[in-house]
Amino acid sequence: MNEHTEALSAFALDIKRGLDQFPKTLPSRYFYNEIGDELFQKIMDLDEYYLTRAEFEIFVRQKAEILKAFQGDNQKFRLVELGAGDGTKTKVLLSHFVEQQVDFTYSPIDISGNVLAQLEEALKSEIPSLHVEPIVGEYFKALSALNTDNSSKEVVLFLGSNIGNFDQASGVEFLKHIGDNLSSGDMLLIGFDLMKDPRKVLSAYNDKEGVTKAFNLNLLTRINAELGANFKIDQFDHFPTYDPLTGETKSHIVSKIKQEVFIEALGESIEFQAWEAIHTEVSQKYSYKMIESFAEEAGFRIVKNFTDSNDYFVDSLWEKM
C-alpha cells in the first residue's frame, strides 16, 4: 500500500467514524487541503477575524518586553515553535531578536518537511543572520530530543490560539505533555483568544462575505473529490454557535433537507435528517481565571500576560515549575 492509499484510507475511516456517530462529526484537521489553506488565508484578512491582528499587535508593540522576559539574566535560549506555518507573526520577534544581537537559535517544528523547507528558505532571504535549525517530526518527540541538551533554556511558542481547538480535558493533557518534555525554568508562550462581546466572537466565524462558510463547506467538497461522495453543497449550510458562559465556539454544517449521500470509498450511503447538524470544529475562548487554571494543572506558573490594546487576545508566558 503506497503513501497516498494509506492517507486516503485514514481519511475515509475518519469520515466514516464521524458520520456514523450521533450527533455526527467531521474532523477539523481535514479543512486544510490546498483550497482550504487559501480560504483560511482569506479568513485571516477579514475585518471580522480579529485574532491574527490582535496577536500581531502584541508582538509589534511588546517585542522588547517579550525578549526581556525570555532572556531573564541574559541567558541564551532556543526558541522552539510548534506549528510555525509561514511564520508571519513570529518574524516580528525573530527580526527584533537578531537586531538586538541576542544569542538564540530558532527551531520550528512541523511534521511536514516541505512546510519547514519553505519557511527556512524564506527566513534565509528575510533574516539572513538568523540561526535556524528546523526539526521535522511530531511535537513531543522533537521536544523530548531537545530536552537532552541542557546548554540553553528552551522557550516554546504555541501561538494563534491553537489551544482553543482542544476541549478542556484534551487541552490540559496536551499542555502537560509539553511540560513533561521541558526542564524546570524552561518557558512556554501560548496564545489564548479571550472571552468578549458574543456578537464579536460570532461574526469572526460567520463573516458577511461568506468566506468562513465556504471554508467549512469545502470539507464536503473535499470528501466529494477524494472519496467519491455526492454531497450537494447547496443543500447544506454553515452555522456557528457561541456560549458566553463556557466560552465555547462551535462550527456546524447543517443539512437543509432530509437526504442521503453516497460515499463511494465507504461503499455506503449516509442519511441526514432535515436540519441535522454535523459538528466540525471547536474554538474555545478563555477567561483569565481559566488560563490560570490551565497553567497550574499543566505544571507551570504564569510569568506575564501580554495583551493587545482591545484586550481581545493574550499571549501568556509560563515557566515550567
Q: Which three cell numbers stand for residue 135?
A: 526539526
CA 84 to CA 162: how far, in whole Å? 11
Q: Indicate whether 302 pLDDT > 60.
A: yes
What's the mean pLDDT in 50-78?
A: 93
Quickly tell me which residue has 480535558 as its cell: 169
pLDDT range class, residue 243, cuts 50, 70, 90: very high
**Can you give the three-state secondary structure of 236-282, one letter per residue?**
EEEEEEEECCCCEEEEEEEECCCEEEEECCCCEEEEECCCCEEEEEE
Q: Are 23 and 277 in contact (CB under 8 A)?
A: yes
Domains of the chain: 12-46+216-284 (no CATH), 50-196+286-320 (3.40.50.150)
Q: Each residue of 9-58: pLDDT tens digit?
A: 889 999 999 999 999 999 998 998 889 889 988 999 999 999 999 999 99
Total length of the chain: 321
Q: In this predicted structure, what is the pLDDT of residue 32?
A: 85
Instruction: Show contacts of 62-68: CB within 8 Å, 24+ apart.
Output: 62/306, 63/92, 63/93, 63/96, 64/96, 65/304, 65/306, 66/93, 66/189, 66/306, 66/315, 66/317, 67/93, 67/96, 67/97, 67/100, 67/102
Q: In this predicted structure, what is the pLDDT of residue 1?
A: 43
pLDDT range class, residue 7, cuts 50, 70, 90: low
Q: In this predicted structure, what is the pLDDT of residue 276?
A: 98
pLDDT range class, residue 140, cuts 50, 70, 90: confident
DSSP state of 24: E
Instruction: Show contacts of 4-10: CB within 8 Å, 24+ apart.
Output: 8/226, 8/227, 8/265
Q: Each residue of 88-132: pLDDT tens digit?
A: 899 999 999 999 999 999 999 987 787 888 899 999 999 999 999
CA 116 to CA 65: how far, in whole Å? 28
Q: Each residue of 163-213: pLDDT tens digit?
A: 999 888 888 999 999 998 899 999 999 999 999 999 999 999 999 999 999
Q: Each residue of 143-153: pLDDT tens digit?
A: 887 776 667 89
Burial of 237 (0-12, 13-18, 19+ CB in 10 A): middle
Q: Each residue of 78-93: pLDDT tens digit?
A: 999 998 877 889 999 9
CA 290 to CA 311: how far, in whole Å? 15
Q: In this predicted structure, what is the pLDDT of residue 312?
A: 98
CA 107 to CA 131: how far, in whole Å? 9
The counts of H helices and E strands in the chain are: 10, 13
What's the mean pLDDT in 54-69?
A: 97
Tell how strand 187-193 and strand 313-320 pair up.
Answer: antiparallel
CA 45 to CA 84: how far, in whole Å? 18
> What residues form DSSP beta bridges with 229?
263
Q: In this predicted structure, what is the pLDDT of residue 139?
A: 82
Q: In this predicted structure, what is the pLDDT of residue 8?
A: 64
Among candidate residues 312, 314, 315, the one with its CA nearest the CA of residue 48: 312
Q: Indicate whether 5 pLDDT > 60.
A: no
pTM for this model (two decimals)? 0.90
* 3-state DSSP percent of the chain in helix, strand and coil, to 5: 45, 25, 30
